[in-house]
Amino acid sequence: PPPPQHQQRLESDADAVRITTLHRAKGLEFGVVLAPFLWTSAGVEWSCARYHDADGTLVLDAGCRDGPPADGARRFKANRDRAHVEALAEECRLTYVAVTRAQHRGVLWWAPTKANRPLAGLTETLLRFAQDDQVGALPDAQLRDERLAEVARRGAPHLAFSRVTGADGSATVPTSRGQAATPLRRGPVPSAVPRDWIRASYSRLKALHEPADVEIGERLVVDEPDPRAQTDADAPPPPPAPERGGGLDREVLLSGVAGGATFGTVVHAVLEHVDFSADDLRDRIAAELARWSARHLLTLDDPGRVVDALVAAVHTPLGLPGGPLTRTGSTALRLADVAPADRLDEVAFELGVAGGSASRPGSAVSVAAIADVVATHLPAGDPLEAWPQRLGAELGGVAWRGYLAGFIDLVVRSGDGYLVIDHKTNTLGPPGQPLQYGHYTPSRLADAMVEEHYPLQALGYLVALHRQLRLRLGAAYEPDRHLAGVAYLFLRGMGGPDTPITADGVCGVFTWRPPTALVVALDELLDRGAR
């Protein structure tokens, strides 16, 4: 059969409409720019004059008069005029920024409001452009239209202006070639907007079962919520006491270090930009932690302890000796064993669901169908055996078509296998009490995975990796050999080579290798949609 056609997908899950200031828009480019307020201005403080002198020094003249009153008044008026000229020049520069941000189309609004005229950059730009001299008083409506028509003529065919003439939004666009004016009317608004066609992510799928969120758009569901932002009503039940024995009652390195979304973001950025195999690993982590903490305005009481914890996490074995994550002989794989050539960070993916952009109504994929596929293929005794039933009960009513998108924290190549890794900074112990390794045993991590529906996220990652390897390796791709599963690294529970080990695995590390048939079946379900 011919190879499948791979369509270019959207590059971002950002909102379709972005509202920003002109200062923040400098250096950026947008497909369509709407600038409705360029005809206004913030004005200046006329009780003082803020300007630059001939040497470029910033001067603030508050109107103090140290000489004859007449001389002081004249000096202050001259300085205030200089301040006005500088402010108007800045308004014109901002107008230039606005009109040069558009890649395909820019729409500007202008109104003859005298109160905002003295510093309206668009007024100065348009009318001065038309008459080639400094604008004084605003001309009357007829002369204004003539001058704006002159602007359109000079800029034809790229410039045109329309004059709103009615409350219903009707307008007339004068042409620059002497043709008859073309009336414009608002287009019809569709009676129904398809709400199941979305660009979904794991977080959005979790949020869509709440009807209020669907009405106002996507509400971000923080992957690692800040416990301080939770109320008593929505706080999860307190975890049981930690397991004892074998060092499980020891405190973890990050015990007492506050968490939250910002802390998680900084830790993810540090791990993304650090070479795990570097000899000076600690120095590099310290430098990256300082850089990203400053960028995200995160203040750490003891950054050295965070550095120690991340160094320990990098040197924590990810599996039992002799297990599926064994590197060589009987040595378990660690992040420290992963060379830069064997890792991909922040792997972006965007999968077509039920036909992607060609999907049709009625083809949406439901989370209930995903739960059924997982329950069918998951073997008895799997640590997540009970999860599909809970997934169907809590999120089964969610259905969508369009795309599934996200970012994989890390993909590691070990031998012939490719392992998906996700970093977590969740605090799993009870609030206000010391965190112990017993809070992060593999069995406790399985409970946390089910509680947050992380397996749904993991399966999306594996389907994305499955499609990528199938595309890149071609006929040599063998899912049973190349898909090594997922490892969710709960960094707070990883303490280096001395991390406690239970019969189920290493504390802080949850590994899961679902059957290959499950990944393939989910890939087919997402691809075809409902039938």
DSSP 130-142: HHSS---SPPPHH
Q: What angle do CA 202, 527, 470 make, to 5 degrees?
A: 90
Q: Tokens representing 264? A: 């998680």
Q: Which residue has the tokens 């950054």?
A: 303
Interatomic CA distance for residues 395 and 505, integer angstroms: 30
Measure the CA–CA gap between 160 and 158, rounded to whole angstroms.
Answer: 7
- Cα separation, 162 vs 188, in Å, equals 20
Asked if residues 270 and 277 have their Cβ atoms less than 8 Å apart, the reply is no
CA distances from 461 to 74, 207, 377, 486 (A): 72, 19, 18, 9
Q: Which amino acid makes up residue 227?
A: P
CB 379 within 8 A of CB 314: no
Q: What pLDDT, on the 0 to 100 scale, is given for residue 283?
A: 96
Which residue, among 3, 15, 16, 10, has the nearest Cα to 349 in the 3D structure? 10
Q: How far apart are CA 485 and CA 512, in angstroms?
A: 6
> What angle do the packed helices 281-295 and 303-314 form, to 10 degrees?
130
* Token duo for residue 398: 């969610």
From first to last of its 531 residues, the chain has per-residue pLDDT tens of 444 554 444 555 566 788 888 888 888 888 899 988 887 776 666 677 888 888 888 888 877 555 556 667 778 888 877 887 788 788 888 888 888 999 899 888 877 665 545 557 777 777 665 444 444 555 666 777 777 778 778 877 788 777 766 555 555 555 444 555 566 666 777 667 777 888 888 888 887 765 433 322 232 334 555 444 443 444 445 555 566 567 898 999 999 888 888 899 999 999 999 999 999 999 999 999 999 999 888 889 899 999 999 999 999 999 876 566 666 555 788 999 999 999 999 999 999 999 888 888 888 999 999 999 999 999 999 999 999 999 999 999 899 999 999 999 999 998 889 999 999 999 998 888 899 999 999 999 999 999 999 999 999 999 999 999 999 999 999 999 999 999 999 999 999 999 999 988 899 999 999 999 999 999 999 998 875
User: Structure tokens of 433?
Assistant: 């009490």
The span from the CA of 108 to the CA of 111, in Å, is: 10
Q: Show Cβ contacts of residue 225 under 8 Å, excluding neighbours closer than 6 positions.
A: 260, 261
Copy the structure tokens of residue 310: 């991340």
CA separation for the pair 529, 357 (Å, rounded): 13
**Annotated catalytic residue: which of 337, 422, 447, 498?**
422
Q: Is 528 helix (H, G, I), strand (E, B) or coil?
A: helix
Residue count of the chain: 531
Q: 393: burial class by Cβ within 10 Å (0-12, 13-18, 19+)?
A: exposed
Report CA Rg, the chain: 31
Q: How crowded is residue 72: how many other Cβ atoms within 10 Å of its Cβ?
A: 14
Q: Is 504 a catalytic residue?
A: no
| SS3 (DSSP) at 501 | strand
| Contact criterion met (CB below 8 Å) for 499 and 317 | yes
Structural element, H or E, at residue 410 = strand 399-414
pLDDT at 459: 96
Provide the pLDDT for residue 68.
56
Dist. CA 520–CA 517, nearest whole Å:
5
End-to-end CA distance of the chain: 22
Give residue 117's identity as a one-letter amino acid code.
R
Among residues 314, 275, 326, the alpha carbon closest in space to that of 423 is found at 314
Strands (E), 56-157: 58-61, 102-108
User: What span, in angstroms and rounded, lies between the C-alpha atoms of 13 and 301?
Assistant: 34
Q: Could you tell me whether strands 331-332 and 326-328 are parallel, antiparallel, or unpaired per DSSP bridges? A: antiparallel
- Give dist(CA 486, CA 264) in Å, integer: 19
What DSSP assignment string belongs to 141-209? Answer: HHHHHHHHHHHHHHHTTT----EE-STT--EEE--SSSPPPEEE-PPPPPS---SSEEEE-HHHHHHTT
In three-state secondary structure terms, 529 is coil
CA dist 258 → 185, 263, 300, 435 (Å): 56, 8, 9, 12
User: What three-state secondary structure class fits 414?
Assistant: strand
Q: Which two tokens stand for residue 409?
A: 């924290």
pTM: 0.65
Q: What are phi and psi of 152, to 5 degrees?
A: -65, -40
Q: Say what angle helices 367-377 and 387-395 make with each other, to 10 degrees.
A: 170
- Residues 488, 454 contacting (CB under 8 angstroms): yes
Query: Which pLDDT score, from 0 to 100, does residue 1 have?
Result: 47
Tokens (6 digits) for 364: 């949406």
Q: Which residues pair with 105 in a beta bridge?
A: 32
Of 352, 350, 513, nearest to 418 by C-alpha is 513
